[in-house]
Chains A and B, each alone.
Chain A
Amino acid sequence: MTSLSEEVLLVVKKVRQKKQDGTLYLMAERIAWGPEGKDRFTVSHLYADIRCQKISPDGKAKVQLQLVLHTGESTTFHFANESTALKDREAAKELLQQLLPKFKKKANKELEEKNRMLQEDPVLFQLYKDLVVSQVISAEEFWANRLGGINNTDPSPYNNKQEVGISGAFLADIRPQTDGCNGLRYNLTADIIESIFRTYPAVKQKYSENVPHNLTEKEFWTRFFQSHYFHRDRINTGTQDIFSECAKQDEKGLKTLVTQGVKNPLVDLQSLEDKTLDEGYGICTTQPSTSNANKSVKDSSNSAIIKRFNHHSAMVLAAGSRRGELASDQASETSSTDGNSRDSDFFQPPVKKVKLQEAIEFEDLQRENRPKTVPLNLKKSDRYAHGPVPLQSQQYTTSQDIINSVNYIRHEMASYKPSLTQVLSSTAATSAIAALSPGGVLMQGGAQQAINQMVPTEVQGELKHLYVAAGELLRHFWSCFPVNTLFLEEKVIKMKSNLERFQMTKLHPFKEKIQRQYLSTNLTGHLEEMLQTAYSKFQVWQTRRMMRKT
């Protein structure tokens, strides 16, 4: 259709789909497949629609690639070129692997956003049900101009989205599976890779140093899993391992962390003891320092585990709060440069004082300084949570003010004397009386108001839905004019049919229903009128077009 403008990234020939030979195209935004000898695609998926790709195991005869969509459907491609099947598949897979995550986020975000909108707006939800679920218009059309508008109006929720921390167990989530022939398979997702990079910047650095030039991505991760780095109980032995450097860096980082010391003096174990015993005094002398050299391998591997767990937790914590820390780091830096000669002394006491005060204060013994408040007794707390919007900031009046004004009004009322002659001119008064007497201008509305009571509420509700739905469709319809592109032309035709379908499937049954209930039929009159106007507009447009064509 519009493939001309698209950039084709990869073309794989001899790919079968549903037992039909064809060619697979990977383009900038979608993947498509067309049967051989035809110049249109029978299969075309946007990347954003694809949830994941699956590949057949290496040992299998058929080399296949399966795409699973968000809707749950799946499409399987069979790479049939005997000599290069595997290579073709790998190429397609690699490319997809790079492309999918980019779109995935977008798709997820969109889905989330749509979901959120539907949940928050019951009217919209009803509309969605009326139009999309009953297949009057497609979901895409429904969202087409809605999302854009919303995205443009308030982009703020995206920009300062809350940073998500890292699960402490992300390494545990990589469950190794045996693949049957003495090997292990690790499943890595983009999220896990992201977590690894954020937690271990050293690995990220290695990755960016090595991956495109020296190693493929797969090799990199294979080595990662083989390294002692991932297995925390293994002790660093080989020097060829590219991760041994990482481990060293980590160790260095840990050391700097340790030498930095702790800010809170209450947890600083080193300065806890006031007077340590001199060397040589005391009972317990089995210091580990002497036995360090003759530690067994097992012991040192155990302590390596402990060290790495501490490090891991610290890194996870740091990755989670990195952004927040930046500010505080700067603050502490500036303060330390102020007194750079003896910073420890100038810098410590405030922290220490605060901590000490915290430690000796008991909140239940504090005299409450706040004015007495009445505790809020909630029967249904969720109603409180989702209650009406908070009041705009207003000028609050004190009770004294209120009493004063009440007094004032009372006083005014007491001395109030109506001067009726000056209220209205006599002509105006007569015309008003005429208008209000039966048969007058203003009394005609009374009959219409009566409908309000005549029609049962459920019908009213239904009518309301119909109005909303019709309004939505009509909005789509009218937004097509002036019809100046091919696309709009198509759309207007489609919308017309949508409107007709709406009239048939929704409006007519409703009309019949009211008739059955012996209600006045002109309930739907206005709706029909609106539709009619649209039809006539369409008619005019179509005849004009025909004329232009001929």
Chain B
Amino acid sequence: MLELKRTLDAKGHGVLEMPSGTGKTISLLSLIVAYQRAFPLEVTKLIYCSRTVPEIEKVVEELRKLMEFYTKETGESNNFLALALSSRKNLCIHPEVSSLRFGKEVDGKCHSLTASYVRAQHHSNPNLPVCRFYEEFDSVGRQVPLPAGIYNLDDLKAFGRRKGWCPYYLARYSILHANIVVYSYHYLLDPKIADLVSKELAKKSVVVFDEAHNIDNVCIDSMSVNITRRTLDRCQTNVDTLQNTIHKIKETDAAKLREEYRRLVEGLKEANVARETDIYLANPVLPDEILQEAVPGSIRTAEHFVGFMRRFLEYLKSRLRVQHVVQESAPQFLKDIFEKVCIDRKPLRFCAERLQSLLRTLEIADIADFSAVTLISNFATLVSTYSQGFTIIIEPFEDRTPTIANPVLHFSCMDPSIAIKPVFQRFQSVVITSGTLSPLDIYPRILDFRPVTMASFTMTLARTCLCPLIVGRGNDQVALSSKFETREDFAVIRNYGNLLLEMSAIVPDGIVAFFTSYVYMENIVASWYEQGILENIQRNKLIFIETQDAAETSMALEKYQEACENGRGAILLSVARGKVSEGIDFVHHYGRAVIMFGVPYVYTQSRILKARLEYLRDQFQIRENDFLTFDAMRHAAQCVGRAIRGKTDYGLMIFADKRYARADKRGKLPRWIQEHINDGSLNLTVDEAVQLSKHFLRQMAQPFRQEDQLGLSLLTLEQLESEDMLQKITQIAHQT
């Protein structure tokens, strides 16, 4: 709280690491809301970004509790408006559209019902279907602001149904005047979406990125582009359709095209004005310089632009015909394209903008169909805009299957700061927080910002409810490690199996085991099956395994929880960096032990990663090994942290790799885990670990009441107000 207050006071940015389950969300919310109430002019809005939909909903529910508390204590209801925003898929109430299963389908269908020209046509031809919810919202919804209150996704839907308004557009409209907005990272970080949704958010906002340990990858993902042969083929058909439409329009409605031409000559001045007056969030895909200029003449007419795209497409096709791996920088690529097909840098930069304009003019209903050409045009703009921080890699085949041609052009962003830079620049305070952010100093470096506060907090515990153990040896003294050389070693695999088997016999209810990669897990499971280890484990618990199919894994997860619930007990074999490790919590009996088999290093042979490491070394002076270890350890910490979600929860954390014992690895674990690893448990054998776990579990299984915590990790109001407690708190505050 203290650190956060400092951050807000200084109007700067902060990095805070707080253990999971210690009320991270509620502390952030309560302080910022209080700040907002105290200085309504200083902080006008809180933008709370989280990672997954359930997490977003959780935040809103906690906020609801907070507001209820406010009304109870103050006796008056405050006029805060807080709402969650999510994609159309989660908010649509149109009976036909919302029954579609995939987000993309929903978006496309929605667009075909609500696009402006569709609605214009609807006026002349009432048989054309439109979305009645949107119509209703558009005619009356904007005049009355959403009444104050807390709106979760379901509340928005219910409200929308009652009024007959589209909840999605209502929410998007309402975030402009809401006091608190809760949504996913992508709405701020992905330039394509941010441009639509978050452009006009007030500058005096506080932005919180929760669960932000992966934020650099989100940034990079949102700026990277991959082009395969399939993309190009689809792009080709897109361009053909464009051509045909243009021909058709020319015959019927030439004025429309002329109008567009005029607009383009005017240039993007309006956008430029808006950005200068600080109304818009800058879009990294659309750099400042472009805005001051008009669209260059060579692509101003529609036919010319289509011809231009065709040429560009042919060039990309020729590039994909390579027989060997090519890696080059953006300037090299531009030089080459100029030499080969005479495409200048300047028109390339306007590609994305020009295409948007054309699609609008041509009244293309289904935007989703044109994703390929949009992708190519985005690529063109990006490659011509940024000479730094990006690399182009063309691989003619996959590494594992060198005989099958499957050329891919990776245009990969290596600098996460590009995507996040506008956010840091625009908003007065940005707080990055997570349960696992260690080592803290690396985030400011890779995201390129200067925080005013950086802090890592630990937990005050009435009992040591977490028990990290590092198992370095099997019972036969074979060193346990997932490193490449011993990966196929049967002794190691057998010992890993033994560890799981022994644990399955002593740990109650659920055990979650994480492997370093999916392939590794498949191999280990197969050889465990051959050796009969799995069958022995089945005697103790049921086994569920994560697969690459999300639906199958969801089912396995639910069954896993069911098995934990009815007392049979189960084991979930899962993968670090997988979906399970990122988004699912294993509270209480759903995860009494987490076993981390090996150190989850990223696949280092990938060229993209190599390029990124090189870039990090050159630009930020971060050594490759440091970054790799940091990356591995944050994922390991993320995995084991899944089991502890509060002070009444308890769980074993077993790191089954001798490399964890080394100081450089151990030192990168979060402080709240590190301080519970004692020197005795650095290099245990399986048997020793079992003994320690037995002891730990027996102790933890004793009843744990509120009174045990009082005064230690839980304070009553009287205790909080007492003199010596206040003294103690100030003492702690000064220490940090």
Contact = CB atoms under 8 A, between A and B. Distances in A.
Nearest to A270: B550
A282 B539 contact: no
A266 interface: yes
Interface in B34-81: 52-54, 56-58, 61-62, 65
A360 B404 contact: no
Contact of A313 (B89, B103, B543, B608): B543
Given A306-B547, A310-B552, A274 B86 contact: yes
Q: By DSSP majority rule, is chain B's interface helix, strand, loop, or mixed? A: helix
Interface residues of A, number: 74
A273 B582 CA distance: 11
Interface stretch (B222-230, B347-355, B628-636): B222-230
B559 A286 contact: no
A168 B646 CA distance: 32
Interface stretch (A187-195, A349-357, A526-534, A542-550): A349-357
B190 A275 contact: yes
Contacts of A317: 542, 559, 562-563, 566, 568
Given A257-B555, A267-B561, A286-B398, A341 B545 contact: no
A414 interface: no
A309 B534 contact: yes
Nearest to B539: A169
B539 to A, nearest CB: 4
A281 B375 contact: yes
B558 A310 contact: no
A267 B558 contact: yes
Given A270-B550, A356-B61, A314 B398 contact: no
Contacts of A272: 52-54, 579, 583
A268 B566 CA distance: 20
Contact of A172 (B61, B371, B535, B541): B535
A267 B190 CA distance: 25
Nearest to B706: A364
A357 B58 CA distance: 8
Interface string A188-212: 0000000000000000000000000
Contacts of B57: 352, 356
A321 B555 CA distance: 16
B124 interface: no
Contacts of B608: 283
Interface stretch (A9-17, A109-117, A287-295, A445-453): A287-295
A267 B583 CA distance: 8
B226 A262 contact: no
Contact of A268 (B186, B554, B714): B554
A61 to B, nearest CB: 36
Given A167-B539, A282-B221, A285-B226, A321 B547 contact: no
Interface stretch (A89-97, A297-305, A466-474): A297-305
B647 A364 contact: yes
A260 B101 CA distance: 12
Interface in A374-425: none
B527 to A, nearest CB: 9
B222 to A, nearest CB: 7
Contacts of B526: 233, 298, 301-302, 305
Contacts of A182: none
Contact of A277 (B222, B532, B554): B222
Given A306-B547, A342-B99, A281 B557 contact: no
Contacts of A356: 54, 57-58, 61
B154 interface: yes
B570 interface: yes
A345 interface: yes
A362 B539 contact: no
Contacts of A254: 552
Given A172-B536, A309-B543, A317-B563, A275 B186 contact: yes
A264 B559 CA distance: 11
B551 A261 contact: yes
A97 B580 CA distance: 49
B137 interface: no
Interface string A250-262: 0000100111111
B706 A275 contact: no
A165 B541 CA distance: 13
A274 B99 contact: no
Interface stretch (B406-414, B616-624, B689-697): B406-414
A263 B559 CA distance: 11
Contact of A349 (B154, B228, B525): B154
A357 B580 CA distance: 21
A381 to B, nearest CB: 13
B236 interface: no
A101 interface: no
B190 A265 contact: no
Contacts of B192: 278
Given A269-B550, A274-B87, A169 B535 contact: yes
A187 B52 CA distance: 50
Contacts of B305: none
A299 B496 CA distance: 21
A275 B187 contact: yes
A258 B544 contact: no
Nearest to B609: A283
Nearest to A271: B53
Nearest to B85: A274
Contact of A258 (B61, B227, B555): B555
A168 B559 CA distance: 14
Given A272-B579, A282-B224, A341-B95, A313 B563 contact: yes
A168 B539 contact: yes
B87 A278 contact: no
B260 to A, nearest CB: 25
B156 to A, nearest CB: 12
B121 interface: no
A303 B558 CA distance: 20
A316 B709 CA distance: 40
A477 B628 CA distance: 90
A7 interface: no
B325 to A, nearest CB: 15
Contacts of B646: 362, 364
B400 interface: yes
Interface in A435-491: none
A359 interface: yes
Contacts of A266: 54, 584-585
Interface in A317-332: 317, 320-321
A474 B530 CA distance: 66
Given A272-B583, A273-B52, A313 B557 contact: no
Given A275-B184, A310-B552, A349-B154, A364 B714 contact: yes
A172 B539 contact: yes
B523 A168 contact: no
A291 B226 contact: no
A305 B406 contact: no
B217 interface: yes
B706 to A, nearest CB: 6
B538 interface: yes
B90 interface: yes
Given A168-B539, A275-B190, A309-B543, A294 B404 contact: yes
A307 to B, nearest CB: 7
B556 interface: yes
A239 B316 CA distance: 47
Interface in A52-105: none
Contact of B225 (A281, A294, A302): A281
B61 A357 contact: yes
A276 interface: yes
A268 B544 CA distance: 16
Contacts of B220: 283
Given A171-B535, A271-B53, A274-B52, 12 more contacts: A169-B535, A258-B554, A265-B54, A267-B584, A274-B53, A285-B226, A301-B526, A313-B570, A317-B563, A345-B157, A362-B646, A364-B646
5 contacts: A167-B538, A294-B401, A342-B98, A356-B54, A364-B706
